[in-house]
Amino acid sequence: MSIDIRPYRGEDLEILRVLTVAAFDGVTLEQNVEHALGILAGHDWRWRKARHIDDDATLFPSGIFVAEHDGMVIGYISTRIDRESGKGRIPNLLVSAEFRGHGLGRRLIEHALQYFRGAGLEWAAIETMEQNEVGNHLYRSCGFEEVARQIHFARRL
């Protein structure tokens, strides 16, 4: 299977939003909050999660890399760089369901890590929800070590 990884283009945003919502169903903080508190501010978890890629595209578009197969977008990874701390961060990573299990998530991570190395960074971070078994397995298998756990609390005002 021929898959290319290329830089993000502005016209990718809408499909990345659609893919983000589909890929994060069941493994996002936004959905957990909705299960606990219901719809908030008139928007469901999908709307809030789609805004994450909006933020990535606004704050650091040059750090988004898109995976394509036969001209179809099938995944992406977004990154952020903090040169002062020597840190590269991966806010979002996804592979469309029908293309999982072929090593594309690993390829996207390796692409981001190479990007970080090229920027002279010293370390990389990625986070996921405990319930994201696929992500937890993938990140460990890519050499990431669990260094902390965080508990999220929410309440209506």
67 close to 107: Cβ distance less than 8 angstroms:
yes
**pLDDT tens for residues 117-128?**
999 999 999 999
| Cα dihedral 10→27→148→52 (10° resolution) | 20
Q: pLDDT tens digits for 126-150?
A: 999 999 999 999 999 999 999 999 9
Angle between helices 13-23 and 45-59 (to 10 degrees): 140
Q: Is the pLDDT of residue 1 over 90?
A: no
Residue 152: pLDDT band with limits 50, 70, 90 = very high
All structural domains of the chain: 4-141 (3.40.630.30)
Residue 78 CA to residue 45 CA, distance in Å, equals 20
Instruction: Supply the pLDDT for residue 83.
Output: 97
Mean pLDDT value across residues 152-157: 96
Strand extents, DSSP E, the chain: 4-7, 64-69, 72-82, 87-95, 123-126
The predicted-structure confidence for 72-94, as pLDDT tens digits, reads as follows: 999 999 999 999 999 999 999 99
User: Which letter does DSSP use for residue 97 in this model?
Assistant: G
Q: What is the pLDDT of residue 115?
A: 98
Cα–Cα distance, 34 to 45 (Å, whole number): 6
Predicted model pTM: 0.95
**What are the b/e assignments for 48-73, b being 16+ CB within 10 Å?**
bbbebbeebbeebeebbbbbbbeeeb
